[in-house]
Structure 1
Amino acid sequence: MFIEMTANEKRRLLRIAFGTTAGFIVCKLMDWPYGVFFTVYPMLLLGMIPIFNRLLAIEFIAGVFINAVEMWLLETLFTPYPIAMWIAVLFIFAMHFRFMLTTPYYLMWASGLVTLSTMLNFGSYDGANLNDMFMAATLATSLSVACAYVLYWLLPDVEPFKGGPRPPAPSAAQINHRTLLCALLATLSFTVFQLFDLKDSLSAQVATILILFPMTYQGSVASAKNRAKGVAYGCALALVVQVLLYSLIGHFLLVALALFITVMITAYFHVAERVGSGVGFGALTTIGILFGQYMTPHSDILYSTLYRFSSVIIAMLLVLMCAYLIDNFLNRFPATRND
């Protein structure tokens, strides 16, 4: 169903599409690794928050450097000690979620969670180079911020953004509950992906992080439903692109055009929903992961698409089952009750 968009929303839609496509084109032309950073980062920066300013740019860049320090500490101090590594990862995840709740720098800590989970996934396997990974993340962050500045200059908002009412500040017990719930779930997700050697399940791991952003069990259930629908739509669009291009998949300009069109479609639903992370955002980031990480002239995304969808659904179901148990356990104690 067609939804009428405001002038600001139309410009936001174009900024998301042009920013994502620019990141993809630069990455592929320069033959840089970890292309997922170059497609997903512009989506996070231009899609998660409907405004952009110098403070948000600094937050976005600072988040990557914080991740670099975290990864260096984990790699240097805890790699030979699995139990200590598990505790350190739990502590770092808890720090991110707590600061998301208690500081005004939500974007820095939220985007850092996505980057950290991706780096942990890639960096824990043989053959991964943390220096290359950090350099790719830094380049993608810098490029995303530069694109945001250019696009907001070319396509500025017609009228000032009017934010909605701010939610009430959580109590100390709610902060403890949500921090522990999300940190434990994120760490359990990391542990499962390591134990079962699921290095090709990036979409599933990112999904298990994104559905935690509401930071409550009920919110995660709603987010998981939206994410499942979004992943299904994103995968369906990717399959349509694969069928239409068929033997032309090696033509770079056609692939870039296909990415632009699919991002326009999914970004339209994301912007029209007028929520932070709904069905449209799930479809949008699915397209970014599939094109950025798996679409190359020598390999199509047919198998990757089908595997992504099934792995995401299974991963989210397992996370929600654990969330139900942890949520009930934490609610037994006054200091961690989410009333």
Structure 2
Amino acid sequence: MKTMRIWFGCSMGLAVSMIFGWSYGFFAALLPMFVLVQADRWSTPLHVQLVLEIVWVTVQVSLLVGFFQPYPLLMTTAVAIMMLFKCVAMQHKSTYLFGFTGLLIGSILLNFASYNFFDIEEFSINLWMCGLATAPITALAYFLFPEPECATPQPVTVNNEVTKDEYGMVRQAAMGWTVAMIAYLVFNLVI
């Protein structure tokens, strides 16, 4: 049923964005997918985390661009620090969506903001609307395509969760940060 929920969420998001004529409506199809992949059941904290991160990253990027765009070295340093925090947040399950959304949307915003004709306020407001539309879209997906209930109760198992070693987590964060920074630098050097 998870596949059906993801399909429905993306299709419904696309339909909503087309009905309202949102310029950057592809996020209305993309954001429900982020939530539906993360959880098999409705999770209010997940939706709150998504909307808060969208608002937070748009404010962060707006401030970075507003204050540091004329100073490339300061801008690159500030972007590097912001991206590093997002990569570290992705290392923990409870803040994964926060880091992933911030990294993805932050990268897109920073790259588009380097164009003179790009309206960062319109983009931010479109993102906020897409984020707010995600909750009812995913709620409908969970309602229409619920997770099947098991007839026999599952035996209780001990949680033998494999934890990542600290060096592995540092390597993954460093690799994510390096890729994000290379993309940022290449995009800004080409322009």
Which interval holds the TM-score relative to the shorter structure? 0.7 to 0.9
The residue aligned with 1:66 is 56
Matches within 5 A, 1:1-339: 11-102=1-92, 104-159=94-149, 166-171=161-166, 173-197=167-191
8 Å contact 1:90–1:184 — kept in the other structure?
no
Measured after TM superposition, the shift of residue 69 of structure 1 is 2.4
CA distance in 1 between partners of 2:21 and 2:181 (Å): 32
- The runs of at least 4 aligned residues of structure 1 exceeding 4 Å deviation read none
Q: Can you give the 5+ residue segments of structure 1 that lack an aligned partner in the other structure?
A: 1-10, 198-339
Q: CA deviation at 1:102?
A: 4.4
Q: How many residues align?
A: 184
Question: Once superposed, what is the RMSD of the aligned Cα atoms?
Answer: 2.2
Q: Which has the higher contact order (CA 8 A, sep 6+)?
A: 2
Percent of aligned pairs with the same residue?
A: 23
Structure 2 CA distance, aligned partners of 1:73 and 1:103?
28
Letter in 2 for 1:16: I
* C-alpha displacement of 1:136: 0.9
Query: Which residue of 2 is the match for residue 323 of structure 1?
Result: none
Which runs of 5 or more residues in structure 2 are unaligned?
none
| Aligned equivalents of 1:139, 1:165: Cα separation in 2 | 40
Local SS of the residue matching 1:105: helix
Residue-by-residue CA offset, 1:204-256 (whole Å, 9 max, x unaligned):
xxxxxxxxxxxxxxxxxxxxxxxxxxxxxxxxxxxxxxxxxxxxxxxxxxxxx
The aligned counterpart of 1:204 is: none
Q: In the superposition, relative to structure 1, how do residues 165 and 78 fare at CA in structure 2: closer, same or farther (>3 Å)? A: farther
Aligned residues of 2:88 and 2:99 also touching (Cα < 8 A): no
Shift of residue 174, structure 1, vs aligned partner: 3.8
Quick check: 1:27–1:38 contact (8 Å CA) kept in 2?
Answer: yes
TM-score when normalising by structure 1? 0.50
Equivalent residue letter for 1:187: M
After superposition, what is the alpha-carbon deviation per residue over 1:155-199, rounded to whole angstroms, capped at 9, x for unaligned?
221238x9x95331432x4443333332122111111122223xx
